[in-house]
Amino acid sequence: MLKVEGIHTYIGQFHILEGVSLDVQKGEIISLLGRNGAGKTTTLKSILGLTPPSKGKVVFDGVEVQGRRPFDIAAMGIGFVPEHRAIFRDLSVLENLKIAERKKGDFARKEQFIFELFPDLKRLIKLAGTNLSGGQQQMLAMARALVADNKLLLIDEPSEGLAPVIIEQMMEAIRELSAETTIILVEQNFLVASQLANRYFIIDEGQSVKTGLMAELREDRETIQKYLGTG
């Protein structure tokens, strides 16, 4: 579904990605791992064209998308759940969801699925985003990415700042989502990532350094300590 080949990305004068490659098959949950500042979020933004790569290829569904506008890439079927949620705080839950439509009627078609996945949002439908808890805002950010038909979801740090009980709810929602769509997950909490992902890609100092099955990485304490600083 997605192939990233040796991308280099600059932000201003800073060379953030220096040859990142990865591939994603339909139906997988892939985890991008690495220390803070390794380039994980920039990789997601490069896929979507928010920080366009200056070199390398991004191929989605057989089509090269590097160099296209972010809106056009998203319209091909890529949803993005950014770090820090980025919901519209002055809009209600319903307005946040409806504004995510790509074409008229998207929300109506997905409403039942979204509220089965996130029942709290149905109860809070008229509440403004600013009045939601951190966990509820994260649920809204994820739900918003489901309004349009997306083949691939890019999810950035979904557990950040959440209480353990909310993290469990979020993990269950991601598992259910994976039956409907392919997922690339950036997650600093290794325990969360290791329980969700089928495969992993480790990024270190802007480069792809290791990939494999998550089940094998869980037992590889040396790699975990070297690249993630945990374990």
pLDDT tens-digit readout, 82-105: 887 778 889 999 999 999 998 888
d(CA 2, CA 61): 6
- pLDDT, one tens digit per residue, over 4-51 is 999 999 999 999 999 999 999 999 999 999 998 999 999 999 999 999
Place of tokens 């409403």: 111
Q: Is the pLDDT of residue 53 over 90?
A: yes
Q: Is the pLDDT of residue 136 over 60?
A: yes
- Alpha-carbon 208 to chain mean position: 18
Contact in structure between 85 and 137 (CB atoms under 8 Å): yes
Can you read off the two tokens belonging to residue 155?
């999810």
d(CA 38, CA 45): 14
Q: Is the pLDDT of residue 3 over 70?
A: yes
The percent of residues in the chain predicted with pLDDT above 70, rounded, is 99
* Rounded to 5°, angle at Cα 129 from 124 and 130: 120
For 109, phi then psi, to 5°, come to -70, -30
d(CA 9, CA 114): 34
Place of tokens 């290829």: 57
Q: Is the pLDDT of residue 231 over 70?
A: no
pLDDT mean across residues, the chain: 92
- Measured from the Cβ of residue 156, the count of other Cβ atoms closer than 10 Å reads 23
Q: Output DSSP code: residue 92.
A: B
Amino acid at 15: H
Helix (H, G, I), strand (E, B) or coil at 230: coil
**201, β-bridge pairs:** 32, 211
Identify the residue with better confidence: 139 or 57.
57
Region 202-217: mean pLDDT is: 96
Full DSSP string of 136-166:
HHHHHHHHHTTSS--SEEEEE-TTTT--HHH
Confidence tier at 230 by pLDDT (50, 70, 90): low
* β-bridge pairing 182-186 and 29-33: parallel
Sequence-distant (6+) residues with CB within 8 A of 87 are 96, 129, 132, 137, 140, 141, 144
Which range, 28-32, 146-150, 167-171, has the best average confidence (pLDDT)? 28-32
Region 170-184: mean pLDDT is: 90
